[in-house]
Chains A and B, each alone.
Chain A
């Protein structure tokens, strides 16, 4: 076995948009299409390139993430990897038993019962019956479908479909597991179980390729990532870099639409630059991760090549999905740093971190005194890791420090 589980070499995939394909032999032979008004003329369908010259390698035993916007070709690429679509150009080499979970109701036949579908799916994946006999109860239990397993799957809810699909896919001893965004459909508790199961599979050496929009999860779990943009590979490699590049374009496009200047303008000759961002805890240390509820100090280092009066510093806190959570600005409370010149820093102090656990990125920007001119902006370079949880059962992004009261 080679060191790569999946090798994709120069793969392109063309689809014909088949709207004008003859639907019956009658149409095919006569060239007549009802309502087309153009008898005896076959309308040529426009080709559409869903993937263009994709090359990537997935090392054995690694977790590989794919990001990209809807319609960027992620699912097509997964299907090509799983052998469902044939590449128009290039080739795919896949070494090991592959199990793919591509969409809702992964490979289920609606008229068959859940149990029959387990067997059907397992045989499609080449798992011997005896082995599945041993696993059936485990699968049913994992999916939480004890009551419904002998009913036809057409009566299942979408959540039940996904749970059963996932349960089968991970219980057939795959060597390579290909997972589309499907898992996002289940409830939160099931998602957690899925991810912990994926983790344990990976620790057993299973290669996992997955598509997700949950950038924080990808960043935390993937060894490598690739970003697909309009069917082409836009970035590949280190998860952090790929995510940054991906978010940057979204950002640039978003910023362009509201008239902001992207950060890169300021890079060369701006008189005031942000040189670094540091996170301290209450006692002046710089821990790798913080606990929710701890004190936090964000120190913004700057470097000014000429004296500047009362610049406005601002921070932006974002969660892993780029949701803007907070944006404190230095002049709002009346704070004035005075004249800045040369190297220095300003601090933003929080007595208690309100964020729940996860990875958050912090942007920093500096503007002139009436906040009309942007000197510098650093986006998505600084990550704040929050791990400790005062209440692991809580939901949401923030801990709100309120009090409960009752009136008797």
Chain B
């Protein structure tokens, strides 16, 4: 298809075929708009990393500060004990925390990015056609870029401490699963965010709650088996996000393989959430130009 975007299309047709999927309104039409996504990512990164070195430093300031604060509060003041690192030579709470935090940052970034991207660029949807998920997908790539920087720094430190193994290679796969998972949720929330103005407010609360019921600032072992008559540790373990943060720690800090079954489980969860969110988004945004 020459020219891709805005090209041939049947609007309002319901025939199913590969062409129908990639055509206007099709589930996979986003592919035809890669140029637009590239442009949006470039724009976002451009404004964030302008003036090279200082820009990079600024973009790392927030995650570094968060890491420092949590390490201080939970590692130094509350003395949470990290397990020994995979090479058996040291234990360090800040690094143990960082391995999970980099996952959380990506998750949080994709969700909030998807929500604000649709609000921000949505006004254009009434004037010109593009797939409404394009801004969210662009936000995803922007976040992945940031996550890659954070992860590189983390891995570099670990390498310097001689805590390195083949398990590092699996980490990017984990990040891909997490992105699909987060994008599914982010897309769903972004539609509601357009429709109802208090969704942003409520999801901030929900994300805050989720942050603390995921083993990030604490090791899972710290949670009692039962509290208030509930099997809290199992509940926290079953939180899908815990799978990602724990697996990230195992791969980078513990130098351990998470096991095929868990990986398959994570893949299935992210694919289910990702496609579910995507399909729901496609259906609910068919008339979005009228709502924005």
Name which residue of chain B comes closest to A16, CB basis: B290
List residues 212-245 of chain A with CB under 8 A from any CB of chain B: none
| A109 contacts partner chain B, Cβ-Cβ < 8 Å | yes
B11 touching A92, Cβ below 8 Å: yes
Interchain pairs with CB closer than 8 A, number = 125
A94 touching B128, Cβ below 8 Å: no
A85 touching B289, Cβ below 8 Å: yes
A125 touching B12, Cβ below 8 Å: no
Name which residue of chain B comes closest to A126, CB basis: B5
Chain B contacts of A125 at CB under 8 A? 5-6, 128
List residues 103-146 of chain B with CB under 8 A from any CB of chain A: 121, 124-130
Contact flags B196-231 to A (C-beta < 8 A → 1, else 0):
111100100000000000000000000000000000
Q: How far is the CA of A22 from the CA of B192 in the complex (A)?
A: 12
Decide yes or no: A25 and B287 within 8 Å by CB, A82-B129, A84-B127 being known contacts: no
Decide yes or no: A128 and B35 within 8 Å by CB, A84-B126, A106-B127 being known contacts: yes
Of A97-105, A286-294, A388-396, the stretch lying at the interface with chain B is A97-105
B11 touching A102, Cβ below 8 Å: no
Chain B contacts of A94 at CB under 8 A? 8-9, 11
B4 touching A126, Cβ below 8 Å: yes
Chain B contacts of A79 at CB under 8 A? 126, 289
List residues 75-89 of chain A with CB under 8 A from any CB of chain B: 79-80, 82-87
Name which residue of chain A comes closest to B286, CB basis: A86
A124 touching B125, Cβ below 8 Å: no
| A199 contacts partner chain B, Cβ-Cβ < 8 Å | no
B6 touching A97, Cβ below 8 Å: yes
Of B36-44, B52-60, B265-273, the stretch lying at the interface with chain A is B36-44
B39 CB, nearest partner CB in chain A, Å: 4
B290 touching A96, Cβ below 8 Å: no
Q: How many residues of A contact B (CB 8 A)?
A: 49
Q: Which of B9, B128, B196, B197 contacts A107 (CB 8 A)?
A: B128
| B33 contacts partner chain A, Cβ-Cβ < 8 Å | yes
| A91 contacts partner chain B, Cβ-Cβ < 8 Å | yes
| A15 contacts partner chain B, Cβ-Cβ < 8 Å | yes
Chain B contacts of A18 at CB under 8 A? 291
| A24 contacts partner chain B, Cβ-Cβ < 8 Å | yes
Decide yes or no: A83 and B11 within 8 Å by CB, A109-B124, A125-B6 being known contacts: yes
A4 CB, nearest partner CB in chain B, Å: 13
Chain B contacts of A93 at CB under 8 A? 9-11
A84 touching B129, Cβ below 8 Å: yes
| A405 contacts partner chain B, Cβ-Cβ < 8 Å | no
B196 CB, nearest partner CB in chain A, Å: 5
Of A113-121, A138-146, A150-158, A184-192, the stretch lying at the interface with chain B is A113-121
A269 CB, nearest partner CB in chain B, Å: 51
A119 touching B11, Cβ below 8 Å: no
| A28 contacts partner chain B, Cβ-Cβ < 8 Å | yes
A129 touching B35, Cβ below 8 Å: yes
Q: How far is the CA of A24 from the CA of B8 in the complex (A)?
A: 37
| A247 contacts partner chain B, Cβ-Cβ < 8 Å | no
Contact flags B136-170 to A (C-beta < 8 A → 1, else 0):
00000000000000000000000000000000000
B19 CB, nearest partner CB in chain A, Å: 13
Q: How far is the CA of A99 from the CA of B129 in the complex (A)?
A: 9
Q: How far is the CA of A112 from the CA of B123 in the complex (A)?
A: 14
Name which residue of chain A comes closest to B14, CB basis: A91
Q: How far is the CA of A175 from the CA of B36 in the complex (A)?
A: 19
Chain B contacts of A86 at CB under 8 A? 11-12, 25, 286-287
B5 touching A84, Cβ below 8 Å: no
Name which residue of chain A comes closest to B285, CB basis: A86
Chain B contacts of A84 at CB under 8 A? 125-129, 289
Name which residue of chain B comes closest to A79, CB basis: B289
Name which residue of chain B comes closest to A120, CB basis: B39
Chain A contacts of B9 at CB under 8 A? 83, 93-94
| A271 contacts partner chain B, Cβ-Cβ < 8 Å | no
| B172 contacts partner chain A, Cβ-Cβ < 8 Å | no
Chain A contacts of B32 at CB under 8 A? 126
Q: How far is the CA of A126 from the CA of B22 in the complex (A)?
A: 14
Decide yes or no: A87 and B7 within 8 Å by CB, A102-B127, A116-B43, A123-B36 being known contacts: no
Q: How far is the CA of A336 from the CA of B24 in the complex (A)?
A: 69
B11 touching A91, Cβ below 8 Å: yes
Chain A contacts of B198 at CB under 8 A? 24-26
Q: How far is the CA of A129 from the CA of B3 in the complex (A)?
A: 12
Q: How far is the CA of A96 from the CA of B2 in the complex (A)?
A: 9
A32 CB, nearest partner CB in chain B, Å: 13
Q: How far is the CA of A157 from the CA of B39 in the complex (A)?
A: 26
Chain A contacts of B5 at CB under 8 A? 97, 123-126
Q: How far is the CA of A356 from the CA of B121 in the complex (A)?
A: 47
| A23 contacts partner chain B, Cβ-Cβ < 8 Å | yes
Chain B contacts of A83 at CB under 8 A? 6, 9, 11, 24-25, 129
A91 touching B287, Cβ below 8 Å: no
A163 CB, nearest partner CB in chain B, Å: 16
| B17 contacts partner chain A, Cβ-Cβ < 8 Å | no
| A95 contacts partner chain B, Cβ-Cβ < 8 Å | yes
Q: How far is the CA of A129 from the CA of B35 in the complex (A)?
A: 8
B114 CB, nearest partner CB in chain A, Å: 18
List residues 74-120 of chain B with CB under 8 A from any CB of chain A: none
Q: Tell me the B residues contacting A by CB distance below 8 Å.
A: 2-13, 24-25, 32-33, 35-36, 38-40, 43, 121, 124-130, 192, 196-199, 202, 286-287, 289-291
9 tightest Cβ-Cβ pairs between the two chains A and B = A126-B5, A107-B128, A24-B198, A91-B12, A123-B36, A123-B39, A83-B129, A92-B11, A97-B3
A91-B13, A100-B127, A126-B3 are known contacts; what are 8 more A-B pairs with Cβ within 8 Å?
A25-B198, A83-B9, A86-B11, A94-B8, A97-B2, A99-B6, A126-B35, A175-B3
A-B CB contact pairs (8 Å), 18 listed: A25-B192, A79-B126, A86-B12, A87-B12, A91-B12, A92-B12, A100-B127, A107-B124, A108-B124, A109-B121, A123-B39, A124-B6, A124-B128, A125-B5, A125-B128, A126-B4, A126-B7, A126-B36
